[in-house]
Structure 1
């Protein structure tokens, strides 16, 4: 990438205009707040690539923070390196050993050679002395043997002289090299002691060790430590060198190819991950990079779950995020619906958070959803996010069917228009038939009345008859296994019609299953469910069954989700959207009960409770305690409230107070016992400041 610059010190009006417009333009929501004081633009001067913002107080503070983080990381990296062959102790040892070898030099080979020749010459001389079986002496009788003996004696003396000279020369050269090597060390140490005493001696020793470490910096094989050895898993910062090396090692790009960075390698604002956006070399598809997650994890020194890649706006652009810790490994935070008094399902609903900590919100209008995953993966909890949001919208009609006859939808029974929690195929068929014959028919008529082909939020604002409806079918395969062929085919036909035609008429269909194959969810229905959420799956094929064919090989494989990451899934908001890893909001059973209770009160006040959920005796007690405005109701206030809706609690004309209170009290106790409600009357404050027997609102809510 080439950058054109103007000569140092020259002014660039275009650069000044861009910088000025950046700092003077009004801040948009979510933009970085403008610094209090802005520095003049640097028109490509001494630091042509340094933004002017870095010269402001906020910029200096930011750079100081980055410097502290980098310093700490560098210190940790240095500590970890000390136990390896690249550490300072190993370098100092190699430096001392190499200086020792240099001092000893290569003269030892000459000395050894001369010594060997002297020994051989002496052996020849000894053999000549005893050639005829008796010892001869040099200079004796003038014979052939004596002449050979004289020559051997001369050769031995010359060899010994050569050996002595070689040894002397070697000692001389070694002394000179030792003097050359040790004199500076002694001088530094002596100067340090002379000028600084003990502290000076320590400083001098440190300098000596530093020199030895520099000499021994390279390993015995000639390797030198560099960023190419760095890994994020070892606490090192992400660099362009590391990025290219990782993608080369993972066989995504060739050894001679390089990535073109579109953004620098930066640490996220929360300090939880490194990220960068880059362009792949020409001819390399993004699919190849997305499918190399395991190799990249090895190259970066992290687990595969910490690697997250997303295809950019172009085929050659990739956004990479490497988390420093395993994502979603801590307890999920409290779900946001606990603090919401009321919702509108016409607006996006909070479903969870993604890897970047951003909220994942989904608009369910004219949409349908499919949740899949192995048992215990958290798909029911993810579906609960939509059900709870729908419950807090008092205008939404809820139709719930649980084929596994579990307790996931049981808390919603009091507010559901129709429900089946027994896994009864006939009841499911009844629910689907009602939606098709009644709901769809009424909604189609409303759309025609408003002169539209679909129902909208604008219509709902002026016409209270316009509302949304939610249909949940959990474990279709369980219904199919329990039903006869005729019932199964009719239910499948109705469900397909509801998904196809109910979408524009405000009917939101949701399916949840362990493996959404053709046996669990009919193919014709599964293919038209737009929003997908794949929790942990046993195989890549099961993951593809939820998200679509080819997503697992492209790096979106729900099999890679760990068992400990409950509630985590690959979320895809509609066809053509890029899947992302997200964790659905989780609500405890007590929290679900509290939200449903609030939803019940909202629907009671709005008059939208279903006919099957008329107020029971406990509801009447709650109404009486709420109507007083004190959070309590005396027995007299309870009796008066019950008498207005049920004649058995009314006073007979000739009945005394004592007889009336006793009779109504027995009737109330019997009604509560029959309903399975355990709540006792206690002393409560009256309207005039006294105290009387009655009921507290919090006790009544707790008895539900």
Structure 2
């Protein structure tokens, strides 16, 4: 059963309603056609085309996104406590400086106490007389309107004078009562103080306070009783206006409003013994440009250059500059003492304090899986800087030393007690260089032997990787870390006889030994391609460039592009900024000054190192000194007249691996040519290459024997 639809009695019939809808649609179509100039018939025949919607798209600059709750909670405006409260090194240094300053001030005043007593004795009576005069003048009211009474007297106006005098007497009438009461009270207090019931300590304290008070009241204003013991240094406080002025002085920025202090980090704040400002430079200007114009920046700030330290912000865009301005020149600041100077131990596998940055913050150094290079011109402080590293390792009882000073000045003599026999040398002679070369051959042998041993202990679970760690070093005394410094290493590298072989050995050691607990510390004052071969320097992790004259030496020591990235050791003054250098390879590239350790301090540290070790172990298994001419004749095949260098190098490495495992054909050629044997074109095995002849080897050996005889 179906139901009829419900209809409204007032609605028109369905046919009429449909007709009205059709008529309304027709009228709308006629109006649209008229608007387009079409007749009604044309409009009826025309196709109905719906145009595509026009897509406007989003704005080019999206609206600012409101930060969510997590971002708001993670925002930090800066440290709550000052850095010297949270850092133990700075806290210790601050307490030491406070105690030192207090001791100085107290000591100065104690020494000058007789002078202070004389001043009090001289000025106290004058103060008493001045006080009595002031009290009497106030009580009698003579000092109130005396100038008005004098003016009336000068004008011969007795009426005005009498009125003013009566006013004075009315004021004095009650002041005499006040002065009398104060006098009786003071007198009573004095009698009570003089009585026997008052302790002498109280009497002396009140008397001293009274005399000092009278002396201060009676002294001239320009003659204080106490001497001035604090002279505050004159410095320019860093402000936004001064920051913009200094940066504009470089000529890189034309308008001050282009230098922006970014919100949240750009506030100029106290940072150590100075102020830090972080700014965003305009488009096209990067922080390295300002660092390069440091002299102009310091000139714009009207400050010495070593008081102004612009720096590149790590992990920020290149146009963000960190400008730190010290309260006084950094060269005039006293460095904090080395934290390990009085006690403590280090760990080869953990960082220790090496020195301090310009803000006097401690800077750390780490030895494991690394090698070190210190390069700088004479007087820049290479030996001073390297000695800090060696002194730190002297305080680890596991570390073994092999020290060779090819300058022969004795800068490293204090470390001789820490070296096993045969692993210390000091001198610029050929014998010391030969022993240093033997030490390198020993280190190569150590590289060959340590790898399998470390792998064995790693499989036992002492390390998750095939690298040396402290657990393995403590387990096996044969795997203790070795620190091998070579001062003036260029003397070894450029030696005409053993230079190429030594270079090849060092290249192999810095590549292989880093994971095996062998750390080379190379020092040089000759910075060129011959003295610093790329095969050696490119594999050294921690490189420190001290004072040098140009960007060429900077890039050779720190790596290509270091100068372009902001390294400026050229701004250190040779012979003045000793120990200052730019360091790369551990943390961000930064200017660091090594902690100052004089010879006596190094000797005390080395004595502590010997005591920690309980003495020094026996002699190292160094390869015996060999003569390359005799060794070549020993491996020569009798039927051969001549042989190539590469073949001879392979034979020597197989027969005498402890001495020739790292020798290359070029190094062997250099060794033999140093003995007076020429390198010739030799035809052997169907090919002609560089080599030598047995007859030349024999003749050179005979000449050597005759010269020795």
Contact 2:290 2:297 in 1 (8 A): no
Contact 1:353 1:583 in 2 (8 A): yes
By how many angstroms is 1:342 displaced?
Answer: 2.5
Query: Quick one: structure 1 residues 458 and 260, their matched pair in 2 at CA, closer, same or farther if it must change by over 3 Å?
Result: farther
Within 5 Å, which residues of 2 pair with 1:575-654?
A: 578-604=588-614, 609-611=617-619
Is 1:521–2:532 an aligned residue pair?
A: yes
Q: Deviations over 1:436-480 (max 9, x none)?
A: 113542344223442342212343465555431111111122234
Per-residue CA deviation, residues 111-158 of structure 1 (Å, 9 max, x unaligned), is xxxxxxxxxxxxxxxxxxxxxxxxxxxxxxxxxxxxxxxxxxxxxxxx
Cα distance in 2 for partners of 1:307, 1:13 equals 39
For residues 304-338 of structure 1, give each alpha carbon's deviation from its aligned partner in whole angstroms, at most 9, with x where no partner exists: 22221222222222111112321132454433222
Of the candidates 445, 454, 470, which is equivalent to residue 457 of structure 1? Answer: 470
Q: Is the 8 A contact 2:474 2:480 kept in 1?
A: no
What is the aligned partner in structure 1 of residue 440 from structure 2? 432
Q: How far does the alpha carbon of each residue in 1:533-562 deviate from its partner, in whole angstroms, 9 at most, with x for none?
A: 122223332233222334345543222113
Deviation at residue 505 of structure 1 after TM alignment: 1.0
Give 1:225's aligned residue. none
**Equivalence for 1:261:** 261
| TM-aligned CA distance change 1:542 to 1:293, over 3 Å | same
Equivalent residues of 1:570, 1:579 under 8 A apart = no
Task: Give the gaps of 5 or more residues in structure 2.
Answer: 1-63, 87-146, 152-232, 460-464, 622-709
TM-score, scaled relative to structure 1: 0.52
Deviation at 1:503, TM superposition (A): 0.7
2:425 matched residue in structure 1: 420
Deviates more, 1:437-446 or 1:398-407: 437-446
Q: Tell which has more relative contact order, 1 or 2 (C-alpha 8 A, sep 6+).
A: 2
CA offsets, 1:23-45, max 9 Å, x none? 9xx99996989xxxxxxxxxxxx
State the alpha-carbon separation in 1 of the partners of residues 72 and 551 from structure 2. 53
Alignment of 1:64-213 (within 5 A): none
Counterpart Cα distance in 1 of 2:438 and 2:307: 47
Whole-Å Cα distance in 1 between the matches of residues 441 and 68 of structure 2? 71
| Residue 250 (structure 2) pairs with residue 237 (structure 1) | no
Given that 1:428 and 1:491 are in contact with CA atoms closer than 8 Å, whether structure 2 keeps it comes out as no
- CA gap of 1:507–1:589, structure 2 versus 1, over 3 A, is same
User: How far is 1:238 from its partner?
Assistant: 2.4
Q: 1:531 to 1:296 in 2, by over 3 A?
A: same
Distance in 2 separating the partners of 1:612 and 1:479: 21
Q: CA deviation at 1:563?
A: 4.2
| 2:508 partner SS | helix
1:380-432 superposed Cα distances (whole Å, 9 cap, x missing partner):
01101111111121111111111112212222112113122134221111101
The 8 Å contact of residues 309 and 321 in structure 1, kept in 2 or not, is answered as yes
Deviation track 1:497-545 (CA, whole Å, cap 9, x = no partner) reads 0001001111111111113322323221012212121222233322332
On the 8 A contact 1:471/1:510 being kept in 2, the answer is yes
CA distance in 2, matches of 1:488, 1:360: 35
- Report 1:18-417 matches (<5 A): 235-255=235-255, 257-262=257-262, 263-270=265-272, 272-312=273-313, 313-417=316-420
Q: Deviations over 1:192-220 (max 9, x none)?
A: x99xx9xxxxxxxxxxxxxxxxxxxxxxx
Instruction: Mark the CA change 1:551 to 1:306 in structure 2 (over 3 Å): closer, same or farther.
Output: farther
SS for the counterpart of 1:237 is: coil
CA contact (8 A) 2:269 2:277 kept: no
- Alpha-carbon deviation of 1:367? 0.9
User: Number of residues paired by the alignment?
Assistant: 401
Structure 2 vs 1, CA of residues 274 and 494 (structure 1 numbering), >3 Å: closer, same or farther? same
Change (3 A) 1:22 1:238: closer
Matched, 1:535 2:543: no
